[in-house]
Amino acid sequence: MTAPLPIKTVATKPFADQRPGTSGLRKKTRMFQQPHYLANFVQSIFASLEGFEGKALVLGGDGRFFNREAIQIILKMAAAAGFGEIIVGRGGILSTPAASAVIRHEQAFGGIVLSASHNPGGPDADFGIKYNISNGGPAPEKITEAIFAHSKVIESYRTLEGPDVNIDEIGHSWLVGTKVRVIDPVAIYRDLMASLFDFDAIKKLFASGFTMKFDAMSAVTGPYAKAILEGDLGAAPGSVLNGEPLPDFGHHHPDPNLVHARHLYDLAMSDAAPDMCAASDGDGDRNLVIGRGQFVTPSDSLAIIAANAHLAPGYRQGIAGVARSMPTSRAADRVAAKLGVGMYETPTGWKFFGNLLDAGKVTVCGEESAGAGSNHVREKDGLWAILMWLNILAARQQSVKEIVRAHWAEFGRHYYSRHDYEEVATEGANALVAGLRAKLTSLPGQSFGALKVEAADDFAYHDPIDGSMSKQQGVRVLFADGSRIVYRLSGTGTSGATLRVYIERFEPDPARHDLETQAALADLIALAEQLAGINQHTGRDKPSVIT
Ligand code: G16
């Protein structure tokens, strides 16, 4: 008689709310801590995949509260499901871009990343989980919808009996027939960065006295930044701030924007400013770049990276094309036009870039939500963007400010701002969007002061590679002078609804490149309220966050 395998089948009931959003399933941590909640979702992932038996799964997260417990639950379920190997970052740590790099490097079947990104962590904050496919990128909608469909009918899941696995030492162990390999979370990513950027030139830049403050925000990028910036590149010790990942991010909100990383902005604008301030978010995929006296908007950053990528060894041959999410400013479009390469406009969500990258249509991608990246992985990548900037600074021997100003002088400036109304009532937010949709056909041709509406629509994306269609991705109001107002509801919040209003104006005249952004956009901001009735629908008279 053979010994019975310690696999057990656990009866469960569906949870109705497991539809993945813009980037996986994000909920309050306590929701995930309920019995079966995480396991149901993980089983639904496995049920939506075919042919993974005997293959490798990458597993890691941003180290937030509940990360370690979730890793143990998933290890046992993945072994019970029949994966041949599970590759885990030591301590359960892998930044989102590092997880993508490891999936690609190890030719894994896919990966599970535990993170709620820039959302705060802790028992009363947020947790999240997403599945990435073999190209290293977020699962496309076809898979996320299959996961959701399964989560609604799930009756049981399979797991293993047994003690927890040691994930704190590099090496391997076995869970029944599944090898569990614990890897250094930094090494593969670090080698990849060294292959893309001119580390010698950046080392010389630091050796010549260039100063930098990088705030890891007590989140996952600390170990990566210390190893690369202070270790490989010789940035002065102490250049990396808050470099120890903490389960609650030190009670902070690990979002590198002008609210939660305000101290960096203030430092960059002060007399004590280093040459560059930078930050990344909870899971390491977002970036913030501020030069001495010069904030760089994520949309401008994408455009400047596209225009200068050839200065980095990994992109010496030039870029094939550029992609940006629809609400991202159109600054990059001008660069693509000048370079004579393709430009693609996708819905919000990094998952929409995957097909374009896989097909070789684009090399760099970016989003207004502090995301930039390239074909080196299939996620946005915070440290990559910062290293790209360092490479550009080293090659051009100019300051961030000089580079931004020269870019505007050449291409014109896209004044740009996003106004967020966070945690508003869902009914009001839905009514606001419905009201806008009802106006779409009557808006074109109407004038509001000097602003004449040229077109208005609800953005739909037809993926040129797989033919899939994604509808209702944001209401756009386009004006004759090239200005835009875009409205969408966030797909990453965990309570109520978050309305995002994106406002953009193009200014070709360098004599008008010094306006304060909100002032430059004032008439569009007022019109955004007038067209949508934001106050009436949300009860708010001002945004909670302006970026
Ligand atoms: C995620 C997605 C991004 C998206 C951002 C904001 O980023 O990966 O593609 O731009 O959310 O999405 P939303 O406007 O729907 O809230 P992250 O950094 O949170 O993983």
The CATH number of the domain holding residue 283 is 3.40.120.10
This model's pTM is above 0.85: yes
Has residue 1 been placed in a domain?
no
Structure tokens that stand for 453 in this block: 């509406």
Q: Yes or no: say if 314 and 150 are a contact pair by the CB < 8 Å rule.
A: no
Q: Yes or no: say if 81 and 87 are a contact pair by the CB < 8 Å rule.
A: no
Cβ neighbours, 10 Å, residue 65: 21
DSSP string, 7-36: EEEEE----TT---BTTBEEEEHHHHHSTT
Please give the distance, rounded to the nearest whole angstrom, from the Cα atom of residue 224 to the centre of ligand 1.
22
Nearest ligand 1 atom to alpha carbon 379: 8
Decide if pLDDT at 1 tops 50.
no
| pLDDT tens column, 160-186 | 988 999 999 999 999 989 999 999 999
Residue where a domain terminates, one of 383, 411, 439: 411
Distance of CA 390 to the CA centre of its chain: 20
Decide if pLDDT at 490 tops 70.
yes
* Nearest CA, atom 9, ligand 1: 349
Asked if 441 and 526 sit in the same domain, the reply is yes
Nearest ligand 1 atom to alpha carbon 352: 9
Has residue 230 been placed in a domain?
yes
Decide if pLDDT at 2 tops 50.
no
Number of residues written out for the chain: 547
Has residue 13 been placed in a domain?
yes
Residue where a domain terminates, one of 365, 383, 411: 411
Asked if 181 and 260 sit in the same domain, the reply is no
Q: Which residue from 133, 94, 98, 91 is spatially nearest to 114, judged by alpha carbons?
A: 94
Q: Yes or no: say if 196 and 376 are a contact pair by the CB < 8 Å rule.
A: yes
Name residue 157's beta-bridge partners. 10
Q: Look-up: residue for tokens 């400010």?
A: 401
pLDDT band with cut points at 50, 70 and 90 for residue 491? confident
**What does residue 251 show for φ and ψ, rounded to 5 degrees?**
65, 15
Q: Which pLDDT belongs to residue 3?
A: 53
Q: Yes or no: say if 42 and 112 are a contact pair by the CB < 8 Å rule.
A: yes
Cβ neighbours, 10 Å, residue 270: 10
Has residue 398 been placed in a domain?
yes
Least confident range of 62-71, 130-139, 188-197, 250-259:
250-259
According to DSSP, residue 231 is labeled I
Cβ neighbours, 10 Å, residue 285: 35
Cβ neighbours for 438, distance < 8 A, ≥ 6 positions apart: none
- The arithmetic mean of pLDDT across residues 132-156, rounded, is 96
* Nearest CA, atom 14, ligand 1: 490
Sign for the pseudo-dihedral over CA of 256, 260, 261, 262:
positive
Cβ neighbours for 272, distance < 8 A, ≥ 6 positions apart: none
Has residue 2 been placed in a domain?
no
Residue where a domain terminates, one of 376, 391, 411: 411
Nearest ligand 1 atom to alpha carbon 488: 14
- Chain mean pLDDT for the chain: 96
Asked if 356 and 322 sit in the same domain, the reply is yes
Q: Which pLDDT belongs to residue 541?
A: 93
Please give the distance, rounded to the nearest whole angstrom, from the Cα atom of residue 84 to the centre of ligand 1.
32
Asked if 510 and 388 sit in the same domain, the reply is no
Q: Which pLDDT belongs to residue 167?
A: 98
| pLDDT tens column, 188-208 | 999 999 999 999 999 999 999
Asked if 228 and 275 sit in the same domain, the reply is yes
Residue 438 maps to which CATH number? 3.30.310.50
| pLDDT tens column, 253-304 | 999 998 899 999 999 999 999 999 999 999 999 999 999 999 999 999 999 9
Asked if 288 and 431 sit in the same domain, the reply is no
Asked if 288 and 228 sit in the same domain, the reply is yes
- Region for 342 from its dihedrals, namely left if φ exceeds 0, alpha if ψ lies in -120 to 50, beta otherwise: beta
409-424 CB burial, b ≥16 within 10 A, e <16: eebbbbbbbbbbbbeb
Q: Which pLDDT belongs to residue 495?
A: 82
Is 239 annotated as catalytic?
no
Asked if 224 and 356 sit in the same domain, the reply is yes
Q: Yes or no: say if 163 and 67 are a contact pair by the CB < 8 Å rule.
A: no
Sign for the pseudo-dihedral over CA of 455, 458, 461, 467:
negative
Please give the distance, rounded to the nearest whole angstrom, from the Cα atom of residue 280 to the centre of ligand 1.
14
Asked if 198 and 339 sit in the same domain, the reply is yes
Q: Which pLDDT belongs to residue 446?
A: 96
Q: Which pLDDT belongs to residue 67?
A: 98
Asked if 128 and 245 sit in the same domain, the reply is no
* Nearest CA, atom 17, ligand 1: 117
Which amino acid, one-letter code, is at 256? P
Check 117, 151, 218, 280 and give the catalytic one: 117
Cβ neighbours, 10 Å, residue 438: 9
Torsion of CA 537, 539, 545, 546, to 10 degrees: 70
Asked if 214 and 304 sit in the same domain, the reply is yes
Please give the distance, rounded to the nearest whole angstrom, from the Cα atom of residue 3 to the centre of ligand 1.
47
Per the structure, the count of domains in the chain is: 3
Asked if 181 and 34 sit in the same domain, the reply is yes
* Nearest CA, atom 7, ligand 1: 23
Has residue 349 been placed in a domain?
yes
Q: Look-up: residue for tokens 């079947």?
A: 109
Has residue 291 been placed in a domain?
yes
Q: What domain range is 93 assigned to?
A: 7-185
Q: CA separation (Å) from 417 to 5, 95, 106, 264? A: 57, 28, 40, 19
Pairing relation of β-strands 364-367 and 321-325? Answer: parallel
Give the integer Cα–Cα distance in Å for 438 and 532. Answer: 11
Q: Which pLDDT belongs to residue 438?
A: 97
| pLDDT tens column, 515-535 | 999 999 999 999 999 999 999
Q: Which residue from 394, 368, 393, 395 is spatially nearest to 380, judged by alpha carbons?
A: 368
Has residue 510 been placed in a domain?
yes
DSSP string, 105-150: HTT-SEEEEE--TTS--STTSEEEEEEE-TTSSBPPHHHHHHHHHH
